[in-house]
Structure 1
Amino acid sequence: MGHGGGDVIQELTTDHREVAELFGRIEGAVPGSEERKRLADELTIELVRHSVAEEQHLYPAVRKHLPDGDALADKEIADHGRVESLLKELEKTGAGHLDFSHLIVKLRTEVTAHLRDEENRLFPQLRDACPQEELDTLGEKIRSAKKTAPTRPHPKSPSTPPANKLLAPGAGLVDRARDFVTGRGK
């Protein structure tokens, strides 16, 4: 996701567009189909990588640069927790199960509200408060973090530094090995 480069806000906004597009593809796929499950797995991988990268790099910058940064970052991390719980539930649910479509709708509602909040509130404040050079550096860090981030939801993992920076790459390695063996995300 978000392979375009640019600063942290451009990178994450690109991710947001790709997530919205994936939701559209899931909703357009035949209910109960393997394609729908495959797309849901792809969505899960992208959302988990995105969330982990934000928690490692974006939210510490929010805490540092914005006057109400702690409260903002805590709210965003709480949003991630709700999304990860839904993703964990979705991971265990077959595409043919009655709950699958319901979970997709709940997930889309939660994710859309979170993305809108970041884009309309958090990103403009960060752009105003943070030097461009730091925004560019954060963009690089986000791209790098997504390469080693977990690809499966881990709702019980730490979401704040330093523990998240220490544990996420290991979880990511295990997740990518599981993905390779099972063919998930291909």
Structure 2
Amino acid sequence: MATTAETKPRLTNAKRAANARSEARKPDGRFSAGGSGSFEGTGAILAAGAAGLAVGLAANIARKFAVQAPTLLSGDWDQALTNEHQLTLKVFDAIEATGESSTTKRATLLMNLKHMLSKHALEEENVIYPALRDAGMIAEADGLNKDHGYVKQYLYDLTEMPKDSPSWIAKVRAFRTDIEKHMREEEETLFPALKAKLDADKNKELTGQMNKEGLKLA
């Protein structure tokens, strides 16, 4: 049997441990850092973060549908793309109405134009031009795709050029001339020819696919 001298240190150590646990408790009864309360706090933070992420994703999806709405509501794929052409020309109108001192406005409108044309190009290049090739219009589709390369070149040049330079607005006007020619070829010749080759179900399918691509960059 242990002596009193041997038992006393054990009791002292137990008391010290109890005191340490007592000191670690907060007034509300939860443990401080390192105790179970820290897990409760972490869980609350994670839950709040997840809720914030869900709200952010929902807002982003709503924004995308709002941006794509004019195209979604325009009808079949050919009419929807024609509508996007008209909206693009309105941005050109706004750019050409600016003066050389409106450099910030020019840069903002150019950024808007770049976004619109990027979304438009994705819809055409990933859906409509492949459909043209499948319908036997390979050279025509390749020509349109080549035009898109020059669209990107114009956008790059305009981004790099000083916005207050007389040559900047001259480049805008040259860009507009080329892109209007591209649009007319699509609207007046190639889109009607493709639509006529497809039945109603296939045209409907193209419309759905085109809008899905648009939503990616909306």
Among candidates 66, 80, 84, match of residue 15 of structure 1: 84
CA-based RMSD: 1.7
Paired letter, 2:77: V
Residue deviations 1:122-148 (CA, integer Å, cap 9, x gap): 011012101122222212222221222
Asked if residue 82 in structure 1 is aligned to residue 156 in structure 2, the reply is: no
Asked if residue 109 in structure 1 is aligned to residue 109 in structure 2, the reply is: no
Percent of matched pairs sharing the same residue: 28
| Structure 1 alignment gaps of length 5 or more | 152-186
Residue deviations 1:56-101 (CA, integer Å, cap 9, x gap): 0000111112x3x110100100111111111111122232133311
SS of 1:49 mapped into structure 2:
helix
The residue aligned with 2:116 is 46
Output the CA distance in 1 between the equivalents of 2:124 and 2:161. 27
Work out which of the two has the higher radius of gyration on C-alpha atoms and give 1 or 2.
2
More helix by share: 2
Q: Relative contact order, CA 8 A, sep 6+: which one is greater?
A: 1
Paired letter, 1:142: M
Paired letter, 1:50: H
Among candidates 91, 99, 110, match of residue 167 of structure 2: 99
Output the CA distance in 2 between the equivalents of 1:11 and 1:121. 16
Residue deviations 1:12-34 (CA, integer Å, cap 9, x gap): 01101101111111111233412
Among candidates 78, 90, 93, match of residue 24 of structure 1: 93
| Structure 2 alignment gaps of length 5 or more | 1-67
Q: 1:41 to 1:73 in 2, by over 3 A?
A: same
How far the C-alpha of 1:115 sits from its partner, in A, is 0.2
Superposition TM-score, scaled by structure 1 size: 0.73
